[in-house]
Amino acid sequence: MWYLCVFYHRLLDYRKPEFESLADLFGAFGDKRSSDFNTQDKVLQWRLPKHHHPDSPFHFVHLPSEDVARNIANRSILVKGIYELWGEGNDFEELEEAVKSYPDERKLPYLEYESTFKITVDSFGKVLSLQEQNERIQGLSYIPFKGRVNLKNPDHNFWLMETDENETNNGLPPVVKRRIFFGREIGGADRKRIPMYQLKTRNYLGPTAMDAEMAFLMANQAQAAPGKLVYDPFVGTGSILVSAAHFGAMTMGADIDIRVVRDGRGPDCNVWSNFKQYGLPMPIGLLRADNNLPPWRPGLKEVFDGIICDPPYGVRAGGRKSGGRKLLKGIVGPYTIPDDKRADHIPSTAAYTLVECVHDLLDLAARMLVMGGRLVFFYPVLREDGSVETHFPEHPCFKLVATSEQMLSSRYSRVLLTMVKTSLYTEELALAARIKHLEFRENHLKWLENGNLHSSVFSPADAESGDSKVSKESKLKYRGKYV
């Protein structure tokens, strides 16, 4: 059945990937246990309302049942609501005709005497006064509501939504024309969790702590759920694992900095206290581990249902690996830690380039994820002359199912990559992955070879490019993808 999906007008590139990940989680594509991960085409059917732009918050989506629609809407971060559409039109006369022609067998069960209801008037691109809202509600007198009005806890919620005229600044390009929708609410997002988990109220924070809204989006992309084990190999202060635990997943993390995972800033200000603050289940373990030298025993495979992380790619923080610069170059030999120093010893580390980090992350995920498990991580993108670098890391064990870009400056953005494991890990595939890794390194040689992304992002524009300041005329005149 077709439903009207209304998104919040923000993070536009993330809306459909999150929605489709949740649709897969809640069974929109059938029984996942019998899925053929190589051949099954897990794509929802989408279509736009008449005259609407792709960035519009209004979309039609085809879902197998109302239960699936409700589950998606109630868990999503970016879905404002999903509705059974009773009618739409360019004006109220056209809307009335459409609602009257909607089948009675679909409408009448929600208009009975015993039921209670509420009508909400909403608009996109403009603000309606209370008087205008009341006038629009009174204009719905042709709908035979028989129940009682209940504004606090109604049995059924109905929504009258409209977009602004295209001549005004309605937040979208001027091709969008006015459209009015009326429908019954199936479900809607609970945005209250965002302020509850916002970073400014968090007990323990680091310089790279993931924003709460983005952490929830990543957990949804990874399909975190009860009974699943989610791992973050760059756990830091645990922001990503907090969001996964909120959705009921068991969590586990690792970090190369033992001061983060063991000590924090004291007994009441550490990774563990962040979970305690929200009443969430504690991680089953936090390891001091190096992603370049994984601690897992040989032969251990398929442990995690999801791996979610924000790798250190050298903009806000650089990656580190074990060994130390002199040790790795052979200037000094391996050392033995005296027994009396082991309790507080902090191992030496050296720079860990992004190209190494990405390869190690994909190899870890290929080994340790179950079939159908998801790897969700951020990847940096440099923009040259207005174009977007599209060479993303690949691995023969994975299928890339979603890319969501977030622009951070005129030269730099990051892309959230979502990969699904489709093949069992073998030595042959590991060799093929190494070949792909070498090709990937070659494609990104100019800024990945030394891992010096920071200087690439923040260096001045080339003299040949002229004035580095963006003119007012070149700026977007509507709230586009990177809101």
What's the pLDDT tens digit per position in 129-179?
A: 999 999 999 999 999 999 999 999 999 999 999 987 765 656 666 656 788
Question: Cα–Cα distance between 251 and 256 in angstroms, integer?
Answer: 17
What's the pLDDT tens digit per position in 282-302?
A: 999 999 999 988 889 988 999
Question: Cα–Cα distance between 267 and 263 in angstroms, integer?
Answer: 7
Q: Give the pLDDT mean for 39-62.
A: 84
* Residue whose tokens read 């959705």: 247
Angle between the N-to-C axes of helices 212-221 and 239-246, in degrees from 0 to 180, rounded to the nearest 10: 60
User: Which of 256, 228, 231 minimizes the C-alpha distance to 241?
Assistant: 231
What's the pLDDT tens digit per position in 228-277?
A: 999 999 999 999 999 999 999 999 999 998 888 888 888 889 999 999 99
Who contacts 100 (Cβ-Cβ below 8 Å, separation ≥6)?
A: 87, 142
Q: CB–CB of 415/358 below 8 Å?
A: no
Amino acid found at 66:
E
Question: Cα–Cα distance between 127 and 41 in angstroms, integer?
Answer: 41
Q: What predicted TM-score, i.e. pTM, was given to this entire model?
A: 0.88
Q: What is the pLDDT of residue 349?
A: 83
Strands 58-62, 285-288: parallel, antiparallel or unpaired by DSSP? unpaired
What's the pLDDT tens digit per position in 433-457?
A: 988 887 777 666 555 444 456 666 6
Angle at 22 between CA 18 and CA 26, to 5 degrees: 175
What's the pLDDT tens digit per position in 63-96?
A: 999 999 999 999 999 999 999 999 999 999 999 9
* Residue whose tokens read 């039921």: 115
Q: What is the pLDDT of residue 461?
A: 52
Q: CB–CB of 12/404 below 8 Å?
A: no
Task: List domains and CATH numbers for the chain.
Answer: 2-31+40-190 (3.30.2130.30), 194-337+344-456 (3.40.50.150)
User: Which of 188, 187, 89 minimizes the C-alpha distance to 139?
Assistant: 89
Q: CB–CB of 52/176 below 8 Å?
A: yes
